[in-house]
Structure 1
Amino acid sequence: MYKEIMPHRFKGDFSRLESKERKQIMPANYLLQKMKIKKGDTLIDFGCGIGYFSIPALDFVGEKGAVIAIDVSNEMLQELAKRVKNHKNLKIIQADTLVGLEANIILLSMVLHEITNPKKFLNNCFKSLKPNGRVIVIDWQKKDTGKMGPPFEDRLAKEDVIKLANIKYIEHHVHECVYFLEFKKD
Structure 2
Amino acid sequence: LVGSEGVVFGQDIMPEYLALLQRRVVRDGLSNVRVVLGEAHDPRLPAGSVDVALMIHMYHEISQPFALLWNLASSMKPGGRLVILDLDRPTYGHGTPPSLLDCELSRVGYRRLSRRETGPEEYVAIYAAPTPAQRPAPAAISASLRRTPCRAP
Q: Where in structure 2 are there 5+ consecutive unaligned residues?
A: 131-153
What secondary structure is seen at the aligned counterpart in 2 of 1:168? strand
CA change 1:95–1:119 in 2 (3 A) is closer
Q: Distance in 1 between matches of 2:86 and 2:4?
A: 29
- Could you tell me which residue of structure 2 aligns to residue 110 of structure 1? 57
Report the AA paired with residue 161 of structure 1. Answer: L
CA RMSD of aligned residues (A): 2.1
Greater C-alpha Rg: 2
Q: Which of the residues 121, 124, 127 maps onto 1:183?
A: 127
Do 2:36 and 2:44's aligned partners in 1 also have CA atoms closer than 8 Å?
no
- Could you tell me which residue of structure 2 aligns to residue 99 of structure 1? 44
What secondary structure is seen at the aligned counterpart in 2 of 1:65? coil
Q: Distance in 1 between matches of 2:62 and 2:92?
A: 14
Do 2:51 and 2:76's aligned partners in 1 also have CA atoms closer than 8 Å?
yes
Do 1:126 and 1:135's aligned partners in 2 also have CA atoms closer than 8 Å?
no
Q: Distance in 2 between matches of 1:66 and 1:113?
A: 26
Q: Distance in 2 between matches of 1:173 and 1:155?
A: 14
- 1:122, distance to aligned residue in structure 2 (A): 2.0
Q: Where in structure 1 are there 5+ consecutive unaligned residues?
A: 1-59, 144-149
List 4+ stretches of structure 1 deviating above 4 A. none
Q: How many residues align?
A: 120
Q: Which of the residues 142, 152, 162 maps onto 2:89?
A: 142
- TM-score w.r.t. the length of structure 1 is 0.57
- Could you tell me which residue of structure 1 aligns to residue 9 of structure 2? 68
What secondary structure is seen at the aligned counterpart in 1 of 2:71? helix
Report the AA paired with residue 178 of structure 1. Answer: E
Q: Distance in 2 between matches of 1:169 and 1:120?
A: 22
What secondary structure is seen at the aligned counterpart in 1 of 2:54? strand
- 1:129, distance to aligned residue in structure 2 (A): 1.0
Q: Which of the residues 13, 16, 20 maps onto 1:79?
A: 20
Greater relative contact order (Cα 8 A, min sep 6): structure 1 or 2? 1
- 1:100, distance to aligned residue in structure 2 (A): 4.9
Q: Which of the residues 75, 82, 90 maps onto 2:33?
A: 90
